[in-house]
């Protein structure tokens, strides 16, 4: 079984502009590969390691500008593979467990399939 720490470099290598949430495309760069990857990454990590999805808001100067997902693993440990995507003025606020939507994601489905496919190619996930 893959651990969170074993998975971290694999995810970083699998992210790209094509796996980025369209909302964040203008801010995505190879220097900040985690930008816009949180939703699809959290879903893939949940498939691999189990646990729960956690959702919070992202604020700038007290105003909501977006959302952020990460994982709570079955043992209770929280892992956020994309935490380093945020600029200094961005703050992640709150965090509540969200049920996984039934079936494939409605939003960012193509990005999710690309990321999942890359992990299948690397032998990390089963088809």
At 61, list the tokens.
Answer: 């100067």
What are 68-111's pLDDT values in tens digits? 999 999 999 999 999 999 999 999 999 999 999 888 888 899 99
Q: Establish if 126 belongs to a structural domain.
A: no
What are 30-67's pLDDT values in tens digits? 999 999 999 999 999 999 999 999 999 999 999 999 99
| C-alpha to C-alpha distance for 94 and 92, rounded to whole angstroms | 7
Q: Establish if 25 belongs to a structural domain.
A: yes
Handedness of CA 34, 35, 38, 41 (dihedral sign): negative
Mean pLDDT calculated for residue range 4-32 = 96
Side-chain half-sphere of 48: how many Cα atoms within 13 Å?
A: 25
Q: Establish if 73 belongs to a structural domain.
A: yes
Q: Which domain holds residue 38?
A: 4-121
Tally of domains within the chain: 1
Q: Establish if 127 belongs to a structural domain.
A: no
Determine if residue 71 is left, alpha or beta; phi over 0 gives left, psi from -120 to 50 gives alpha, anything else beta.
beta
Q: Establish if 37 belongs to a structural domain.
A: yes
| pLDDT for position 46 | 96
Side-chain half-sphere of 65: how many Cα atoms within 13 Å?
A: 14
Q: Establish if 72 belongs to a structural domain.
A: yes
Model pTM? Answer: 0.95
Residue 125 has what DSSP assignment?
Answer: S
Q: Establish if 66 belongs to a structural domain.
A: yes
| pLDDT for position 101 | 84
């Amino acid at each position: 079984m893959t651990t969170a720490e074993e998975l971290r470099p694999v995810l970083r290598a699998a992210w790209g502009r094509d796996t980025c949430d369209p909302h964040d495309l203008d801010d995505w760069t190879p220097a900040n590969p985690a930008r816009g990857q949180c939703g699809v990454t959290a879903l893939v990590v949940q498939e691999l390691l189990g646990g729960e999805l956690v959702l919070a808001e992202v604020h700038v100067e007290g105003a909501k500008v977006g959302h952020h997902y990460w994982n709570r693993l079955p043992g209770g440990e929280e892992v956020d593979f994309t935490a380093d995507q945020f600029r200094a003025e961005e703050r992640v606020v709150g965090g509540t467990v969200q049920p996984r939507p039934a079936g494939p994601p409605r939003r960012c489905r193509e990005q999710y399939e690309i990321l999942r496919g890359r992990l299948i190619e690397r032998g990390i996930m089963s088809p």
